[in-house]
Amino acid sequence: MAASSQTPITNGQQQSHHDDSHFHLPFVGTNRAKDHLTTQYNGKWSVRERFRRPAITADQLDSRMRELEDGRGVYRKRRYRNPDGDNSHEKYPDLDTYYSTNKEIPRRLAVQATPEAHNDTRPRHWGLRKIKGHSPLIIRLADFCLNPLGYEYDDEGEDYDDDEDDAIPHEKQKEKKSLGLVMKDLCRRTLHALASTVCTILLAWIIQLMLSIQIVTAPWTDDGSTEPYAEYENVQWYWPKHAVNPLDQAPNNDKPQSQVARLAIPRRLVVKDAATGQWVAKKTNGLRDPKTGLLPPYIFLSFSRANFLGKSDEALRPFFDRVAESLLAHENEHRQDEVPVQAFWVDVYCVSHASDEERTRDVHTICDAVRCAKRVYVVLPNDDPEHKRMWGARIWTLPEVLLAADKIRYCFSSPPAAGEGYDGQVTSRPHELTLTDMLESFWPGSSPESWKDDDDDEKDRRLEQQHEEAIGHLINHYSNSTKLSELQLFTCAVQALAERAEGKSTEGYTTTDLAYAAMGLLAYRIIPNASDNAFQAIARLSLVNDSNRLLERLACLWPHPATKNDQEQDLIVAGSEELLRNIADRDQYSVHLWDIQPMCDVVGIGDDPFTPTVILDRCRAIPIRWKDFPKIKYVKDLNGFRATVSQKIVYCGAWFLATGFGLFASAIALLFSVMPYYNGYNNSDNPAPRRQNEVEPAMYLLGVALFMGCGWVISWFSPWAVRQLCNGGYTGVSCHLIGFEGTMPLGEIERAICGFDNNRFSYAASSTIFSKNLRHAKVRAGRVPGEGGWAAEAERLGVPPGHRLFTIVDTGNWTVSVIAAERPPVVALICGREGGMLRALLCSWRFENNCLYRECVVRMRSSLEHLATPNDWLKVSLACQGDVARTRVNQKPAPSPQIAV
C-alpha cells in the first residue's frame, strides 16, 4: 500500500497540544485520551494486522477530537446499548464503526480498497485493507488451468454495448479488423491454448485428488432455496424529543403535538381614541359590537423593517398613523351603505412586547389577522424594485399575500427624516394588483420567464430550471388557476419560505419561524417550542398535518448538493439547507417527493442539536460487508445434460483416483506380507526356504497405475466440468451486499468473488446517479464510463469534492453499483419505492448515539424487499456524518438533554 502524504502524529507533536482548552477531561487524563486517538490515526497496522489505520495531521486530530466530544464537551469513553439492552461495553469513539452481530459490540470499520484508493491521500476515518476474496481453491485452480494467461475473449455473440454495430451484419464487422490485429489475436489464442493444455495436464489432477480424499467439499449444490441477506440488528433505546403519540416521547414532554386549527381573532387593533383623537392600540374584547359581538372591520398594513432601516417602533408608529388615515379614507370612499372601516392592524402596535409568550402568540397568529382583514395594504417607501424585493424577502409576507389573495393593494409613503414633522408626509393612492402581478415585481427570478437564456451560462440556466417554481405554484393555487394537493401545498410552502430565510437579521425573524409562518396555511397548528431548531419545527408541523406522510417521503428523497455555504444563515442544523430549500424540487433521480411511496413510519423526531434526525419504524435493513468478499453458494440445476456430464467427470475421476490410492495402500501392505522370511532357529547348514506366495506385487502395482492413470486422464476435463457446475443463475444464490473503496472492472470483481470470470456481473441499470448517462439505449443495462472513467463521470455530475467513489456489489442479482459518498455506509435501509424500484438509504453509523447517518440514497430491485431484515425503531439522520461533524466543530450550542452513557 502506498504511504499516505498525511503526516502521522508523533509523540513530540502530541506533547505540544496537551494544554489545549478543547481537551479538558475531568474523568480521564488528557494524555491517555489523546494518546488513544493518536494511536488510531498513526497510519500503522492495527493489532493482528486487520487493517492499516488512517493518518492525519495534528490540526486534523484536534478537529477530530472536538467532533467526538460528548454533550458536555468531553472526549471520553462511551457506552453502547445493544439490541438486547446490554450497555456493559465501553470504548472510545474514534474511527467509524459497524455493529458486529457475532461479537455483539461495535467494531472499527475496515474497508477493502483498490490500489488507486490506497494512494488517495485525503484524510479518512476508517481502516484500509487489500481486496480479498474467499472463492474455493478448486474453482481458482480450474480457472487457472483454463485461462493461465488471463486472456479475455471478445464477446461477439451478445454485443449490445455498441448500438451502431447492431445494424451491421456480422460478416462486415469482421472486415473492419485489420490483418495485423487478426494475426495478433491468432497468436494470442494459440499461446493461450498451449498454456492451458500444459497447465491442465500438469495440475488438473489436483482437483480430483482434493475431492477424492475429501480435503475440500464440493462448492456446488442443487438446493435452489434463496439465502436471505445477513440480518441487521439495531434498536433505538432513547426517547425522541417529539412523537406522534405522547406515550412515545420523553416523560418530561407529555403534551400533545398539535391542536385543530381555529381562527384566532387579533388581540389588539389600532383605533382612534374618542377623547384625544390619537391612534391607540386597544384590546379587541372592548371593541366588539355589543349587539352582534363582531369585531369592527379593519385593514391590515404589511411592511418590512428592511425597507425602513434605522427606524424604531416609536418612530414608525406616527408614520403608520398618517398612512392608515390616508388608506382608511380611500377605503371608505365607496362604502356609503356599509359600516365604515375605522381600525387597522400593524405589528408595531399590535404585537405585544410585554412577554415572550405574548409576543410569540401575536406573531404566530398574523395569518389569522390577515384572514379577518377587509383589505391588506403593502406599504413601501417608494416604487423602487429593490424595495419590492426586500419586502418579498421577509418571511411573513408570503403567507400574508397568499391569504389576502384578491384583497391586496400596495402604496408608497416615506417617513420624514430626523427632525422633520409628519405634516408633509404624503401617501400615494393604493395600486391594485393580482397575485400574478406580484410574482414578477416582488419575487423576481421565480418564474420561467426570468430564467437565463445565455449560452455562456448553460450550467446556471440548467440549475435554475431544475429548481421548482414554488412561489408560482402557490400563487396559482390561491388564485384558483391550479389545485395543489395537501402534500404539494405543504412542500411548496416550506421551500418558498426557506428561500426567504436567507440574509440579514434586520428582517426580524429566525429560521425557526418559517414553520410557524407555514402553519398559517395548514389545517393543524403546533404549540411553539423555543428549543426547536428549524428542522424540528417543520418536522413537528409535518407530523400533525401528515395524512400524506411527508417525513417518510423526505427521508427517501436525495436532494441535489448545496450550491453555496452561507455561514451567516441561522440554519445551523447540518443538511437543513438541502432539505428545506429543495423539498419541492426533483431530486437527483428526477423524482418529486410526492412520487415516492413510503414503506416505513416516522414515529418521532430526535433531539440532536447538530443534525436533523427522525425515528423510523417498520423499515427493512441489509448490512453491507466491507472487510472482504465472502464465500458464496453456487447453485446448479443438476438435472441438465451438461450438469450430468460434468458430475460424471468430476466424481468418476475422483473415484478412480480414490480407488487407485486405496489399492496403492493395499499394495504396500501386501508387499510387506510376501517378503522372504527366515527362521532364526534353523540351522544355517540346513536352511528351510519359505514357501513362495503365488501373488505377484508388480502386477498389483500395475493395476494401481491403471486406476490412477484413468483418473488422471479424466481429470483433464475436470476444469471444464467444475466451471459448468459453478456457473449457476440467479436462483438460490447467496445474497450479500459487499462494498469496497474505489472501482474495478467487472471481470476482476467476479474473479475475486467467484474465482473465475464468466460475465455474470453487470452494472445496475438505474440504481445510482451515475446511471443517468451510463444506460444502454435498448437493453435495460448499465454501461462502462468512457474516457476518464468513473472519476470523470463524477466530475460531470457535480459530485462534491469531499466525496469518494465506492462500489456496492449485490450478489443476489449479480449487479454492481458505483456510488459517491463521503464515508462508507454500513447498512442499507429500505424505506420507500418509486418507479418500480425500492428506495434505500445507505447509512454510516456512530455507536455513541446509536444514530445512522444518510450518506447516499440508491434505487434497488423490488424482489429483495422480503429478503431484508425488518426493524423496529431506528434513529436516522437525514444529513451525512461529515456535515454533522463540521457543523459540530463550527457551532457550540448547549449540551443535549440526553447523553448516552
**Average pLDDT of 172-196?**
75
Residue owning grid cell 442499507: 828
| Contact yes or no for 535/576 (Cβ under 8 A) | yes
Phi-psi region for residue 216, left (φ > 0), alpha (ψ -120 to 50) or beta? beta
CA separation for the pair 399, 415 (Å, rounded): 26
Residue 409 is inside which H or E element, if any?
A: strand 408-412
Using pLDDT thresholds of 50, 70 and 90, give the confidence band for residue 163. very low
Residue 20 confidence (pLDDT) above 60: no
Using pLDDT thresholds of 50, 70 and 90, give the confidence band for residue 636. low
CA separation for the pair 500, 492 (Å, rounded): 12
DSSP state of 225: P
Q: Is 622 helix (H, G, I), strand (E, B) or coil?
A: strand
Residue 167 confidence (pLDDT) above 50: no
Q: What is the pLDDT of residue 862?
A: 93
**Average pLDDT of 493-503?**
77
Using pLDDT thresholds of 50, 70 and 90, give the confidence band for residue 501. low
**What are the residues whose beta carbons fall under 8 Å from the beta carbon of 565, sequence distance 6 or more?**
none
C-alpha angle with apex 735: 732 to 739, nearest 5 degrees? 150
Q: Where are the domains of the chain?
A: 1-76, 137-152+196-218+637-675+694-725, 264-434
Q: Is 369 helix (H, G, I), strand (E, B) or coil?
A: helix
CA separation for the pair 322, 292 (Å, rounded): 30
Q: Show the DSSP H helices in 373-415 as ranges.
A: 385-392, 397-404
446 against 512, higher pLDDT: 512
Q: What is the pLDDT of residue 615?
A: 96
Q: What is the pLDDT of residue 541?
A: 87
Q: What is the pLDDT of residue 561?
A: 83
CA separation for the pair 830, 827 (Å, rounded): 10
179 against 871, higher pLDDT: 871
C-alpha angle with apex 832: 827 to 835, nearest 5 degrees? 120
Q: What is the pLDDT of residue 2?
A: 41
Q: What is the pLDDT of residue 297?
A: 94
Question: CB neighbours (10 Å) of residue 649?
Answer: 22
pLDDT tens-digit map of 370-418: 999 999 999 999 889 999 998 988 888 889 999 998 899 989 888 776 5
CA separation for the pair 628, 749 (Å, rounded): 12
Residue 463 confidence (pLDDT) above 60: no
Mean pLDDT estimate for the chain: 81
Range with the poorest average pLDDT among 479-488, 544-553, 806-815: 544-553
Closest listed residue to residue 95, CA positions, set 555, 626, 614, 573: 626
Please report how many Cα atoms fall inside a 13 Å half-sphere around the Cα of residue 751, on the Cβ side: 15
CA separation for the pair 680, 687 (Å, rounded): 10
CA separation for the pair 122, 206 (Å, rounded): 46
Residue 193 confidence (pLDDT) above 50: yes
pLDDT tens-digit map of 299-339: 999 999 888 888 888 989 999 999 999 999 999 987 777 88
**Average pLDDT of 234-253?**
89
Q: What is the pLDDT of residue 109?
A: 97
Residue 251 confidence (pLDDT) above 80: yes
* Grid cell for residue 514: 418559517
Question: For residue 390, which amino acid is it?
Answer: M
Residue owning grid cell 427632525: 419
Range with the poorest average pLDDT among 102-106, 146-150, 447-451, 705-709: 447-451
pTM: 0.84
Range with the poorest average pLDDT among 27-31, 550-554, 617-621, 742-746: 27-31
